Amino acid sequence: MASDGFLNKAYETRSDDETRQMYDHWAATYDAEVFDQNQYQQPARCRDTLLSLQPDRDIAILDVGCGTGLAGVALFEAGYRRIDGCDFSDGMLERARALQLYQRLFNADLNQPPMDVPDAHYDAATVVGVFSFGHVQAAAVDEILRVCKPGAPVIIGLNDHFYQEGSLTHHIAQLDDAGVIDHIGDEAGEHLPGIDLPGWVISLRKR
């Protein structure tokens, strides 16, 4: 059952500043509300998809929109150790920093590129729960690809509402048609079972 905390507000459209403030305030209770109460499945689903495409654990991964570090924990538990993370919210980054599993954590506004990362720096990227209403725009895929090496898998986990909205899937199709990526596939599954919200894992590879 969903709580009466921040989760019921998370999918509302808002300005970037309002989004940042919400996540700063949410940081202290985010894991309990999303993971413990509502069984957030995307960190594990995205990790498993990455493992299927890149089983080598000695790769440099960017956990895009890392939040409190739920995806980072899933990656770390699978044996990946070279993990960096970025997020829009300083409050979320503080929670992630306390885990002491990221090599680097930095603030990034994906709607206002560039990130403070060189071109072709990472071997893979995970983007878990980042694309949604009032959050990150579909064009941010371009910036994520910029910081990835050719051949790098990019794994995107998102809720069904934004998947069906279509802007992200349309942009990915355009990149595939342009030869920028190979769109490997989309897998339906659980997102937040506690509120009966399904989701998708989108897999692509930079050419």
Q: Identify the pLDDT of residue 34.
A: 66
Distance (Å, whole) CA 71 – CA 158: 13
Q: Are 105 and 97 in contact (CB under 8 A)?
A: yes
In this predicted structure, what is the pLDDT of residue 9?
Answer: 58
Handedness of CA 8, 27, 97, 146 (dihedral sign): positive
| pLDDT value for 68 | 93
Which domains, from first to last, does the chain contain?
Answer: 7-206 (3.40.50.150)
Res 37: pLDDT: 72
List, in sequence order, every beta strand (DSSP E) within the chain: 60-64, 82-87, 104-107, 124-128, 153-159, 181-192, 197-206
Strands lying side by side in the sheet with 60-64: 104-107, 82-87, 60-64, 124-128, 153-159, 197-206, 181-192
Give the pLDDT of residue 39.
79
Alpha-carbon distance of 96 to 28, in angstroms, equals 11
Q: How many CB atoms lie within 10 A of CB 35?
A: 17
- In the predicted model, residues of the chain with pLDDT beneath 70 are 1-15, 18-27, 30-31, 33-36, 38
Q: How far apart are the first and last CA of the chain?
A: 42
Q: For the beta carbon of residue 70, count every other beta carbon within 10 angstroms.
A: 23
